[in-house]
Structure 1
Amino acid sequence: MVNESDNGTSVVGSETSHKCGRSCLGPLTFHPLAVGAKVSLSHGCRLAERTGATFKNGLVFSSRPVKIQERIRLRVEKDSFGWTGALRVGFTNVPPSDRSLPLPVMAIPNLTNVQGHWAAPVQESHCQAGSELEFWLSGRGCVFVTSPDIKQHTVLTGVDLSQPLWAMIDIYGQTSAISLLGSKKRKLFQTRRSCPAPEYLTSLDADKHNSLIPVSSLHENSDECISFVDMKFPAGRGSVKDCVVCMEKQARVTLPCGHQCLCNLCASKVLRQFGTCPLCRYKISAPSLDGI
């Protein structure tokens, strides 16, 4: 699924992931752009909440492809017993960045009826607020679920392992909010773990105004999506050497919030698609962009 070079850097096609060391699997969050119409993300894209009086529109995906035997750990933060059914978990070989909005309203059957998607429900009794569970993919294409309250059991078989796979989670039914607690992959003499992901909101003002951002509202129709996942952002205001979007060209554009974090090309894309600073979500106005 994921090729690894000798220096421990993951490579998926043209995508690369940050690594702290050989025992690091890289940051793992919910993908910030491919989310259901009723999903809001917070806490560095590690808390996903389905809002509104509905049982659906709660799809989220992992920010990067996951490995075989990489156990993804979740915690149910909120539940609502006004609905039947609960969390659905699975995998897909369709990259989240390739998806158009709005997403389908449910994983089952809207996505599982489409090639490249596999998902199964988790029992309602195991999805109460405070419940923790792990799910992962075996080398034989089976999906397993376990928790402190339930033994390991198979929920799915027949997953195609020939392409990279992203975790797919549907915050469905009585489940209304979940946290992504990271992941781990056990080996004979070592356990590799995901590392803490970067926090995207770094200023106190940003935290006040964006404690729960409806990420789906950031999308506009465009031919190319920009993702801020797996990028190491500065701890405070000021300049950074590389553009935080492409991570290749020098950051020459200073935004009204004081962050100098974008190259000229990416600045125009960010302005067109989002109209906000990728670090603190400060609203950007075109005349205030320096260096374009």
Structure 2
Amino acid sequence: APGPRAHVRAAPPRPPRGPAGPPTCRLAVCFHHVHGTNVRLDASRTRATRVESFANGLCFSQEPLAPGQIFLVEIEEKELGWCGHLRVGLTAHDPQSLEVVPEYSLPDLVNMGDTWVFAITRSHNRVMVDGEEVRARGPPWEPFLLIEQVRIPRDTLVGRSRPGRYSHILDDLYKTNALPATARRSRIGVLYAPQPDGTADMHIVINGEDMGPSARHLPTSRPLYAVVDVFASTKSVRVIPVEYGFPSLQTLCRLVIQKHIVHRLAIDGLDLPPPLKSFCKHE
């Protein structure tokens, strides 16, 4: 029997999953500590910056995604002089098992198999299904984006400008998805939607618009991690947490405040706690 000074440390319990929808574990909304050699993560592991060159910018989600759970990032910084943009996708490879993180997601990681990556371009990111006609874009004020059986709050999916002299004009452009997908403040997400045959389709979402199934027949029997390649002209991205189900009290307060002001800069004059002001202006 162990002596009085010995201690047995039990493994910490895993956070519980809800009855339906994504897991409640916050680890799913940060980057994995395994990443490309040119990537630097901040202390929270929610911001990834490529510090040199244009390659070795591969990042992964900390945890595998649940069915229908979107891994959403916002483009924070751009770098001129390089050709190419952000790449996103899914992989069945556990980042911890990689002996060496590949230099590129395309083609290196994809060539390892069980990986599906989509290169984001300035336009024409829609994937047409066989026999499908171009669908009319849904009104930007619809509260939820529907992808088959997946239902995601649209407000978080749409990029927003920083407060400034012309930020209200930029916000209107983002809401109508008129700015390029590769622009600063664009929000790009990846998820997989289960299919009746037991496989899944991978979907890319850009500023609240579903680009369609960019890969089909993904195996749902294996954990799938999000892949974010901070490539070429994309310098820095940050993870955006997405609230499912009922919105938080903080989100409800923000919606009410924004509804009753003329411009977000007017928030500075309100008698509100500074963190709430920042949340209302920047998210």
Q: Do the two structures share a fold, i.e. TM-score over 0.5?
A: yes
In structure 2, how many angstroms separate the alpha carbons of the residues matched to 1:192 and 1:25?
A: 14
Aligned to 1:18: 15
Unaligned runs of 5+ in 1: 1-13, 194-292
Structure label with greater radius of gyration: 2
Q: Report the residue type matching 1:41 in the other structure.
A: L
Aligned to 2:112: 114
Aligned to 1:31: 32
How far did residue 158 of structure 1 move? 3.0
Q: Report the residue type matching 2:32 in the other structure.
A: H
In structure 2, how many angstroms separate the alpha carbons of the residues matched to 1:109 and 1:43?
A: 30
SS class of match (2:88) = strand
Q: Identity rate of aligned residues, in percent?
A: 21
Call closer, same or farther: CA 1:79–1:15 in 2, change over 3 Å: farther
How far did residue 19 of structure 1 move? 4.5
How far did residue 150 of structure 1 move? 4.4
In structure 2, how many angstroms separate the alpha carbons of the residues matched to 1:65 and 1:106?
A: 20
How far did residue 174 of structure 1 move? 1.0
Query: Of Structure 1 and Structure 2, which has the larger fraction of its residues in helix?
Result: 2
Task: Provide runs of 4+ in structure 1 moved above 4 Å.
Answer: 19-24
Which string of whole-angstrom CA distances, capped at 9 and with x for unpartnered residues, describes residues 134-193 of structure 1?
2211113221122337454332223222211111111112111100112455xxxx4699
Say whether the 8 Å CA contact 1:25–1:192 is kept in structure 2: no
Aligned to 2:228: 169
In structure 2, how many angstroms separate the alpha carbons of the residues matched to 1:164 and 1:56?
A: 26
How far did residue 98 of structure 1 move? 1.1
Given the alignment of the two structures, is residue 63 of structure 1 paired with residue 118 of structure 2, yes or no? no
Given the alignment of the two structures, is residue 144 of structure 1 paired with residue 203 of structure 2, yes or no? yes
Call closer, same or farther: CA 1:30–1:17 in 2, change over 3 Å: farther
Aligned to 2:184: 129
Q: Give the RMSD, CA atoms, in angstroms.
A: 2.7
Q: Report the residue type matching 1:56 in the other structure.
A: A
In structure 2, how many angstroms separate the alpha carbons of the residues matched to 1:20 and 1:115?
A: 29
How far did residue 70 of structure 1 move? 0.5
In structure 2, how many angstroms separate the alpha carbons of the residues matched to 1:80 and 1:119?
A: 22
The count of aligned residue pairs is 173
Say whether the 8 Å CA contact 1:78–1:128 is kept in structure 2: no
In structure 2, how many angstroms separate the alpha carbons of the residues matched to 1:92 and 1:40?
A: 21
Which string of whole-angstrom CA distances, capped at 9 and with x for unpartnered residues, describes residues 33-63 of structure 1?
x1101000004100000011x2110001111
The correspondence of residues 74-93 of structure 1 with structure 2, limited to 5 A, is: 74-93=73-92
Greater shift, 121-130 or 16-25, is seen at 16-25
Q: Report the residue type matching 2:103 in the other structure.
A: V
User: TM-score by structure 2 length?
Assistant: 0.55
Aligned to 1:99: 98
The correspondence of residues 1-292 of structure 1 with structure 2, limited to 5 A, is: 17-19=14-16, 25-27=24-26, 28=28, 29-32=30-33, 34-52=34-52, 54-101=53-100, 103-124=101-122, 125-140=180-195, 141-148=200-207, 150-183=209-242, 190=245
Call closer, same or farther: CA 1:94–1:49 in 2, change over 3 Å: same
Call closer, same or farther: CA 1:154–1:20 in 2, change over 3 Å: closer
How far did residue 117 of structure 1 move? 1.3
Say whether the 8 Å CA contact 1:48–1:178 is kept in structure 2: yes
Say whether the 8 Å CA contact 1:126–1:149 is kept in structure 2: no
Aligned to 2:155: none
SS class of match (2:96) = helix
In structure 2, how many angstroms separate the alpha carbons of the residues matched to 1:147 and 1:48?
A: 19
Higher relative contact order (CA 8 A, sep 6+): 2
In structure 2, how many angstroms separate the alpha carbons of the residues matched to 1:155 and 1:21?
A: 28
In structure 2, how many angstroms separate the alpha carbons of the residues matched to 1:167 and 1:98?
A: 15
Unaligned runs of 5+ in 2: 1-10, 123-179, 249-283
How far did residue 18 of structure 1 move? 2.8
Say whether the 8 Å CA contact 1:133–1:148 is kept in structure 2: yes
Call closer, same or farther: CA 1:60–1:181 in 2, change over 3 Å: same
SS class of match (2:105) = coil
In structure 1, how many angstroms separate the alpha carbons of the residues matched to 2:58 and 2:75?
A: 15
